[in-house]
Amino acid sequence: MHFPGIRFFVHRSSFAFCILHSALCNILLLCVSACLLPGLSCRRDQAYTPLYQPTPYAIAIPKFFPTTLNIPPDNPMTVEGIELGRYLFYDGRLSGRTEPDSLMSCCTCHLQSHSFVCGIDHPKFTGGHPFGLTCVLTPHFMLPMINLVWDSHGYLWNGKVSAVNPSPAMRNLEDVTWMAIVAPHEIHGDTARVAALFQSLKGYPELFTRAFGSSHVTVKNMGRAIAQFVRTLISANSKFDRFMLGKEHLTSSERNGYVLFMTEQGGDCFHCHGGEGNPLFTTNLFYNNGKDSLFTDPGDRLSVTGNPGDAGSYKAPTLRNLSFRAPYMHDGRFKTLDEVLGFYNSNLVWSPYISPLMHHIATHGIRLSPPQLADLKAFLVALNDSSFIANPAFARPLKFPDDN
């Protein structure tokens, strides 16, 4: 039986259903798209937006200073890295401990008032010879932390930490931190314990995020931060610096001393310690300077190179801020600057390993008269930079990140 009206109704109903179904599908698709697109957009942005954006910090190179800096590509200088490094440098909990009698950090021995050595008058380290938490003396006395950003020849008295060290963990300033943490004569701690402690301290994870893009605290990033801070410790404002810039005059004694410093027949100092062409006042190289004839120190330059000619050789330290840095030499044998000058004047000791730059070894010294020695000393004192030991940017922070 044929019912045309019913067929037409069914046909219209099917057509309406199809339209409705299509509309619902489109609405659903739009809703899903609206939900997904923001997420997709965020993921797309994340692919091109850095996780963190530290503020670049450019070393201001003083006039006449070298332009080549020892800054590794994987640890560029940043404001945030330096800030974190300064906190860590001064935080005694770098020992991995919180007990008052078990705190130790870089600043325990490296005092700004003494150009970042402990100084001969230190109340705890008798005669300026530091020791670690277990009372084990350090193998050598201290080198100052001055202008280390220009040192590419190796750190420590023997240059053990250098780019040519076979161990990739002992090649630059960044590596000195973990070495200090584990050394028996320094912190004698555990790197995992140190990292865990700073992970738990309020404020530090955020500082690590700002400096290195991760709140996960690692000793590697601690070393990177401390190295950045230490590279800012620049001295370039001595009286001699101001003289070179035409801002101040040297006295006649200081000028005479400089002439002696720069001449082979005078003090003959410039070969190892530089001059107007090398205002670092060190070559950062290693020399046997005639202190001894027998060599038993297992930590001299020979221990690093294996070259017999390096027996009794040590880094020539910068001559900046000498007045603040007693005692002198790798073993602290000289307590005053006058003793150092007396040694170079008449007490040099010959050995087969003496540096060929020690031109006055045949006469056991430079043999200057007392007035000449006084002039040479006057020039050396003109290398003092009082602003360096008073610079607030290098000083202990007023409070630490977790202080209320």
Q: Which residues pair with 137 in a beta bridge?
A: 131
Mean pLDDT of 176-205: 98
Report the distance separating Cα 220 and Cα 223, nearest Å: 5
- Helix intervals (H) in 262-336: 270-273, 302-305
* Confidence bin at 51 (pLDDT 50/70/90): low
Report the distance separating Cα 218 and Cα 199, nearest Å: 9
Residue 48 pLDDT: 45
Q: First vs last Cα of the chain: how many Å apart?
A: 93
Q: Which residues pair with 56 in a beta bridge?
A: 78
CATH number of 239-383: 1.10.760.10
Contact 240, 382 (CB under 8 A): yes
Question: Quick one: tokens of 164?
Answer: 């040519």
Report the distance separating Cα 116 and Cα 130, nearest Å: 12
Question: Quick one: tokens of 193?
Answer: 């314990």
pLDDT tens, position by position, 91-150: 999 999 999 999 999 999 999 999 999 999 999 999 999 999 999 999 999 999 999 999
Cβ neighbours of residue 222 closer than 8 Å, sequence gap 6 or more: 88, 94, 177, 194, 195, 198
Closest to 93 in 3D by CA, of 192, 207, 182, 194: 194
SS3 86: helix
Chain centre distance of CA 174:
7
Report the distance separating Cα 336 and Cα 12, nearest Å: 111
Q: Model-level pTM? A: 0.87
Rounded to a whole number of angstroms, the CA Rg of the chain reads: 32
Mean pLDDT of 362-386: 98
| Mean pLDDT rounded to a whole number for the chain | 90
Q: Which residues pair with 287 in a beta bridge?
A: 314
Cβ neighbours of residue 187 closer than 8 Å, sequence gap 6 or more: 94, 95, 96, 104, 132, 133, 180, 181
Report the distance separating Cα 115 and Cα 238, nearest Å: 13
Mean pLDDT of 56-79: 98
Mean pLDDT of 28-36: 41
SS3 150: helix
Q: What percent of the chain has pLDDT over 90?
A: 86
Report the distance separating Cα 269 and Cα 265, nearest Å: 10
Residue 196 pLDDT: 98
Query: Are domains 79-235 and 239-383 of this chain identical in fold?
Result: yes
Q: Output the CA angle 263-148-72, nearest 5 degrees.
A: 130
Tell whether the model's pLDDT for residue 282 goes beyond 80: yes
- Helix intervals (H) in 117-203: 176-182, 191-200
Closest to 346 in 3D by CA, of 369, 326, 327: 369
Domain 79-235 in CATH 3.40.50.300: no
Tell whether the model's pLDDT for residue 185 goes beyond 70: yes
SS3 content of the chain, % helix, strand, coil (to 5): 45, 5, 50
Chain centre distance of CA 282:
17
Q: Please tell me what DSSP assigns to residue 214.
A: -
How many alpha carbons lie under 13 Å from residue 345 in its C-beta half-sphere? Answer: 17
Mean pLDDT of 314-337: 98
Closest to 110 in 3D by CA, of 197, 182, 187, 172: 187
- Helix intervals (H) in 47-131: 79-90, 106-109
Q: Which residues pair with 131 in a beta bridge?
A: 137
Residue 146 pLDDT: 98
- For residue 357, CA distances in Å to 7, 271, 272, 322, 345 come to 116, 7, 8, 22, 15
The torsion angles phi and psi of 167, rounded to 5 degrees, stand at -85, 125
* Confidence bin at 20 (pLDDT 50/70/90): very low
Give residue limits of the domains in the chain.
Answer: 79-235, 239-383
